[in-house]
Amino acid sequence: MTDQAGSLLFAQYAYPPNALGLCGADVPRTLLEYGAARESDGGLAELARTFEGAWPYLALIAHANRIEDPLDPRVVEAYWIGNELLGDVRADALCAHLDERFGARLGRGRERLALSAGAGAVPHHCFHVFVVYPWVGLLRSGTVEEPLRVLDRCRIAPARVLAVGGDDATVELRPLVWDGSRLALGAPEERSVRWRDGGLGFARPAPGDRVALHWDFVCDVLSPRQERALAAATARSLAAANATGGIA
């Protein structure tokens, strides 16, 4: 039986890229309605399975921790935000998982997988964005502006809310920066983001809240523990990306 809390948490973080047509079945309004109503059923769990980027990681984390349901809220939190479950996924299991999924196109990238494991890679969304996606490779080739924008928006980014007005919020966050050879977090800057679409949102942020962003949409308000976990998973993913240069 699928945990409703896990399905709802998945919807919160899956909605922004789905609304852009990037991942999963074309059902952004459905995901938004589920999440805003805080109600779930088997239909939401089936929708989660259509997210071919995220779902295999959930299955990997669940298997490594002997958790039956990939939509257990602890598993979903581990992938999108980070928690102690990530530490129980062995480096060789992560490498085997990626080789099985992407081996046909990796080529010499298999060597980079070993490097990413040695750099402490964990099956977190930021790792998938920084290491598996081709964008870091494009940065290294000299194409910077658009790849850096995509990497920055596609990761799960922590931010502090400064002001809220209408469907938008002004937040402060540390953006991704590229120095010609390494990805890092830059100096804090302000950014306008959305917390509500069509009158619906997952959390109503208030000034001072720490929130999680995905594609500049507020997915949730973070607890101090979650903020620390996201920072740690992001740091490990950046280290993996800088060690490997990305798989593609």
Q: Identify the residue with better confidence: 141 or 238.
A: 238
**Residue 37's pLDDT is what?**
79
- pLDDT value at position 1? 44
Parallel/antiparallel/unpaired status of strands 156-165 and 183-185? unpaired
Each residue's pLDDT tens digit, 178-223: 998 899 999 999 999 999 999 999 999 999 999 999 999 999 999 9
Question: How far is residue 181 from each of residues 30, 34, 146, 152, 243, measured CA to CA in Å?
Answer: 41, 42, 16, 16, 10
The residue-averaged pLDDT of 157-177 equals: 97
pLDDT of residue 200: 94
Q: What does the alpha-carbon distance between residue 229 and residue 81 come to, in Å, rounded to a whole number?
A: 7
Domain boundaries, the chain: 1-154+224-248
C-alpha dihedral sign at 64, 65, 70, 74? negative
Structure confidence at residue 106 (pLDDT): 60
Q: What is the chain's mean pLDDT, rounded? A: 89
- For the CA atoms of 134, 137, 142, 143, the dihedral, rounded to the nearest 10 degrees, stands at 10
d(CA 89, CA 207): 36
pLDDT confidence of residue 104:
60
Cα distances (angstroms) measured from residue 88 to each of 18, 38, 63, 70, 123: 29, 30, 10, 15, 10
What lies within 8 Å, CB to CB, of 3 at 6+ separation is: 69, 71, 72, 73
Q: In the prediction, which pLDDT does 246 show?
A: 54
8-state DSSP, 86: G
pLDDT of residue 143: 80
- Percent of the chain beyond pLDDT 70? 92
Q: pLDDT digit string (tens) for 60-117?
A: 999 999 999 999 999 999 999 999 999 999 988 888 888 787 766 666 666 776 677 6
Percent of the chain with pLDDT over 90: 64
- Report the residue count for the chain: 248
Residue owning tokens 């500049």 = 216
Q: How would residue 228 be classed by pLDDT, with cut points 50, 70 and 90? A: very high
